Structure 1
């Protein structure tokens, strides 16, 4: 080995050990000095994998990802809004608000109702997605970089150090390729601004995507005008809730962020796809192929205790939101809309389906949120209203510690009869969420 190698000598067994730990191929056929020179050039190059300096800027990278998602949407068709669609949304939302006002103590938001295209929905929710997703990208990259650290092996540290930036950049590229496809799929499926159950809009506007509604109504035995009105009832109710309950959206975001910090990356599944001996001229397309070759998710299926608790909180909180919407909308639409029960059943089947709206968090966060609790939540809100009245039902949203738990969803009558708790009960997760929310 050349004496001018600044990293010191590696013997063959050490090299073999490192390659096996990184899943990087057969050491027998590699020249160590050539390999280190090659990896060093790749890790230091400003044009690694065809990336420019702009691509490495988070702002530019996000714009590029969103633009790529919109391009995929355009390929699948994204009809322009018609004047009659715009006016129909405004008129139907006015009627929906008049039906909602008598059945909830939460007031209108005062924000306008709007229609948008599929690409427009991506623009509207782009910053919300970014706030949710970028911590995942950073966590994925950090985990892969840590995976190359080879703790306790000082002899192998120089090579691991050189591999780390390469894998970090690769992780971001792989994930963003998957991200653009998932965002495009959701944009082609989502019906309203907050159908995901989380308000990514950053406003309280009531938003409808007519192109996707038209796809939904194609096989329904109900007038499209009824479907539009019913969806606007749901969206307006959900936005009233988010607007009136100031802690709700930040709590959901804090739970997602906390879950993200606990993610365990399947390092072996990704790192084993990279072969240093084949990396001369490695392109962006090659990196994307590596991502596509990783079976399933990047995330290990194992759950930490913290993740289990967060997942339960998220499931219950999202179920309470959707159950409240189901309950309130049923009351609002029942006296006026003959197809209300049928449309509620359609929404229930949609929640239970494997549509992009329902699978996006599993694909992007490894977070499998199931809709099984929504019906229980609807029954609970009905029981609370029966016991405490409409004002008492909505007052339960006054503080997160006063909300029903998963066990309460299994026994709604007991919760409804129990009244409000004497005071908040806080555990370690509550304390952490308060810290995240700056309380």
Structure 2
């Protein structure tokens, strides 16, 4: 029997274990014809959507639109998504103008020239949709590759036909589970995010300073500060972050390239899937049964970063995001110090929010298995303060002129040495070279 398996063989012992976990009985006692017959019956009697192409496989655009629509519904059901009133829109525009005037006094980065906007939760999802899709579709598309990478070379020609039937089943099942998680996480983060780029990445596709008033209202409900002060402080931070992304042309592509590279290195924990995939009656298996597995494997869907490449990418993302947020915090503190006596308290509120397990801070862990810790943020803020002390505001901002000039993790531990010495020499390694290829540089 010749093999034409496009997915690669399973290790036969792993295959037998998986079949038993799927409810097929003692696979070691079944011959190939029996196994093929049982799998075929599964495909004909309710599990057919898992064999071959799903709707998402046939029309990825339609699948993405469905995912976003489901996320919008989840966000709306969690707390409503009221239409914005003209006064709410005008308040964001007017407050942002004040925030920009304060920022212009403390940074050499110019305004984006785009008007500020108040938007709804649903609008935030729509405007970040393409950005999210670019982040997560490599994972969805890579699930089949993860299956193939995880397969051992111990299969024989006899097991290839069975492998060919089972691989699409697991691929489609894992894709369905991930899409279900995706809509839930996007719905949660849309109901939590306060400003357009609070997650640390600019997925908006524009340089607009945007705020989600309904989420801000929920956030300020229990704070011991006036709503106006909180809105102003949040807009100072958002405007600073957008100035940084707008003026540092390589920053957003570098973050996207690192995310894409990390996504390609992801390994799926198929043991976690198979251990939870035990329906009562396989002949009545439904999509709802498959989706339910997603809830039972939350937190264990992705295997932790383990390869040297994954760990290195994770560390670079941590440092780069810490440098972004540290710069935003430092510049925002400098901008508000002369005008807002309670700015230090508001900065502490934001720091605690970033250190908490809110949807905004946990979304990348849930969707990519990317666990970014906030411990470096204070070090990064101190570093930018030290650089400004030694070189002034323009010298501080000039560090963003090229990625090779940026501090590395060891510099965050000794910011005064970095600020005094400059570290202007280029430092490039193999991962830098690969990222340069991805960015077309």
Q: 1:190/1:33 Cα in 2 relative to 1: closer, same or farther (>3 Å)? A: same
Task: Verify the 8 A CA contact 2:114 2:209 in the aligned structure 1.
Answer: yes
Is 1:331 the counterpart of 2:345? The answer is no
- Structure 2 unmatched runs, 5+: 4-10
**Residue number in structure 2 paired with 1:174:** 177
Is 1:438 matched up with 2:440? Answer: yes
8 Å CA contact 1:384, 1:416 repeated in 2? yes
Q: How far is 1:120 from its partner?
A: 1.1
Task: Quote the residue 2:26 is aligned against.
Answer: 27
Shift of 1:86: 0.2
Question: Secondary structure, in 3 states, of the residue corresponding to 2:173?
Answer: helix
Separation of aligned partners in 2, 1:363 and 1:274? 20
CA shift digits 1:23-70 (9 cap, x unpaired): 444226868545413534666999615986466311111111111111
Corresponding residue for residue 426 of structure 1: 428
Residue correspondence of structure 1 range 243-254 to structure 2 within 5 A: 243-254=246-257
Contact 2:273 2:297 in 1 (8 A): yes
Q: Where do 5+ consecutive residues of structure 1 fail to align?
A: 8-13
- Asked if 1 retains the 8 angstrom alpha-carbon contact of 2:266 and 2:302, the reply is yes
Equivalent pair of 1:320/1:374 in contact (CA under 8 Å)? yes
**2:71 matches 1:74:** no
Q: Which residue number corresponds to residue 115 of structure 2?
A: 112
| CA deviation profile, 1:4-40 (whole Å, cap 9, x unmatched) | x999xxxxxx988742255444226868545413534
- 1:37 counterpart residue number: 37
What is residue 11 of structure 1 aligned with on the other side?
none
Asked if the contact 2:191–2:215 (Cα under 8 Å) also holds between the matched residues in 1, the reply is: yes
Across the two proteins, how many residue pairs are aligned to each other?
A: 428
Change (3 A) 1:39 1:399: same
Counterpart selection for 1:369 from 367, 372, 395: 372
- Partner of residue 65, structure 1: 67
After TM superposition, the score normalised by the length of structure 1 is 0.91
1:332-365 deviation per Cα after TM superposition (whole angstroms, max 9, x unaligned)? 1111112211110100110111101111111111
CA contact (8 A) 2:272 2:300 kept: no
Residue 204 of structure 1 aligns with which residue?
A: 207
Deviation string 1:203-244 (CA, Å, 9 cap, x unpaired) is 000010001100111111111111111111000000000000
1:140 has 2:147 as partner? no
Residue 379 (structure 1) aligned to one of 382, 394, 418: 382
Deviates more, 1:291-300 or 1:97-106: 291-300
Where does residue 405 of structure 2 map in the other structure?
A: 402
Within 1, Cα distance between the matches of 2:54 and 2:274?
23
Residues 70, 184 of structure 1: 8 Å contact kept: yes
1:297 to partner: Cα distance: 2.5
TM-superposed CA distance for 1:190, in Å, is: 0.5
**What pairs up with 1:279-428 in 2 under 5 angstroms?**
279-294=282-297, 296-422=299-425, 424-428=426-430
Q: Specify the SS of the correspondent of 2:130.
A: helix
> 2:279 & 2:160 partners in 1: Cα distance?
16
TM-score calculated relative to the size of structure 2: 0.91
SS of 1:199 mapped into structure 2: coil
Distance in 2, matches of 1:106 and 1:138, equals 38
CA distance in 2, matches of 1:318, 1:109: 21
Checking the alignment, whether the CA contact within 8 Å between 1:380 and 1:412 is kept in structure 2 is yes
Structure 1 position 438, deviation (Å): 1.4
The answer (yes or no) to whether the contact 2:182–2:367 under 8 Å persists in 1 is yes
3-state SS, counterpart of residue 210 of structure 2 = strand
Residue 153, structure 1, aligned to residue 142, structure 2: no
Question: Per-residue deviation at 1:291?
Answer: 2.1
Give CA-to-partner distance per residue, 1:104-154, whole Å, 9 cap, x none: 000000111001111111111111000001111112232135546764432
